[in-house]
Amino acid sequence: MEKVPQTFGTHVRQLHEVRSQLHSSGVPSEAKPLTSVPSLEEIQSLEEALHRPDVRRSREALKTLLAEGFVEFGASGSIYDRRNIIDLHVQESGADDGNFRSSNYVLMPISNDAVILTYETEHSNQDGSKRRVLRSSVWKHDGLKWQMVFHQGTVRS
């Protein structure tokens, strides 16, 4: 993935906007109030859908799962917005260059309509090398569905 030519300051402002959205009370009129914290299995399933090549190459699926204003701080050090990450994912070849595993999922509520999911991934390359990444995602319920508003990957040594 190539680095998106935007400044860190721009993304800090976007994160402040996401924070404001997390605390806003406006939900669609047909929305139902969130009455309970989602299960780990529910959010983990949404997260793992984003790992699957069929979802990653589907613009519509990605638009459904990634909220307007989505920002990612990639394990590569690159910063991506929603449009850029969708464009990059739909262009992926789909060729699997190794094994990908995720583990150690933990879900924690951070507001009455948002949760943070943390977990670890390990990608084993065909040459035997491994890349371990600590990951965190913020998921927000808009009254109808859960969408990811932020994701960060940090390479683990």
pLDDT in tens, 64-97: 999 999 999 998 899 999 999 999 999 987 665 5
- Dihedral, CA atoms, 30, 31, 35, 39, nearest 10 degrees? 130
**What pLDDT is stored for residue 31 in this prediction?**
55
Domain 8-23+34-156 has CATH 3.10.450.50: yes
Q: How many CB atoms lie within 10 A of CB 87?
A: 13
Whole-prediction pTM: 0.78
**Position 79: which residue type?**
I
pLDDT in tens, 31-49: 555 667 899 999 999 999 9
**What pLDDT is stored for residue 10 in this prediction?**
56
d(CA 46, CA 146): 8
Note whether 35 and 110 are within 8 A (CB).
Answer: no
